[in-house]
Amino acid sequence: MRNIKLTIEYDGKRYLGWQRLGDSDKTIQGKIENIIHQMTGEKIEIIGSGRTDSGAHAKGQVANFKTESELSTGEMIEFLNRYLPQDIVIKEVKDVSDRFHARYNATGKTYTYQVWTNKIPSAFARGYSYHYPTRLDLDKMNQACEKLVGKHDFLGFSSLKKTKKSTVRTIEEIKINQKGDLLEVSITGDGFLYNMVRIIMGTLLEIGSGKRPVESIDEIFEQKVRQDAGETIPAQGLFLDEVYYS
């Protein structure tokens, strides 16, 4: 039995997210599993490093699956990219140890969120960014980022209901980069809670636009109440850039 690791890039506009949903063919996982079944003749379940939301994108999603197939990795990547939709691309196929698990072995991830800040929307960027036509104070946003970096309980920055699992995560770095009308915020951490990046971004935009003070970050950490944080902004600006393994 072989264990195969996939590195995947996809445009999530047409899909209901990563996770397979019953018989729906509108998920990334479902599309890939169907083509792997055609390729191997086996009923395959692929394991992703994590879920991405409906409409979100990935430049470096990672998944693995077990197979008895004797096809080479070169033959696999050629078959997959020939028959998958053009908005799903397999960037790498690799044999890995039997113990490799795309989700449990991940040590960190980088997400990037894109915001279109011009007053006039973009016909081209609309599927890959959130239109927020407001002048932003990047200095205040960077001050807020300094408070977010480190090890904290991020429960207040998530849409999780009550959970017995730890909601403590470590954000290692946040970078804000303005490229003309496009604002990019990259967040690297050891793990992320449900909707955590989108809520952090909603909070940062409210700080940058003067709707809330920088110090509200401290209050959210202290109170751990979702309603204290910013809105959950739309998924189309979100990209999973890279998944890290030791």
Q: Which residue numbers are catalytic?
A: 53
Q: How far apart are CA 202 and CA 15, in angstroms?
A: 23
Q: How far apart are CA 59 and CA 179, in angstroms?
A: 19
Strand 150-153 with 168-179, pairing: antiparallel
For residue 83, which phi and psi values (nearest 5 degrees)? -110, -15
| Nearest residue to 17 via CA among 243, 242, 241, 240 | 240
For residue 57, which phi and psi values (nearest 5 degrees)? -120, 170
The Cβ of residue 2 has, within 10 Å, a number of other Cβ atoms equal to 14
Under DSSP, the state recorded for 236 is: G
Q: How far apart are CA 92 and CA 216, in angstroms?
A: 42
Q: How far apart are CA 104 and CA 224, in angstroms?
A: 26
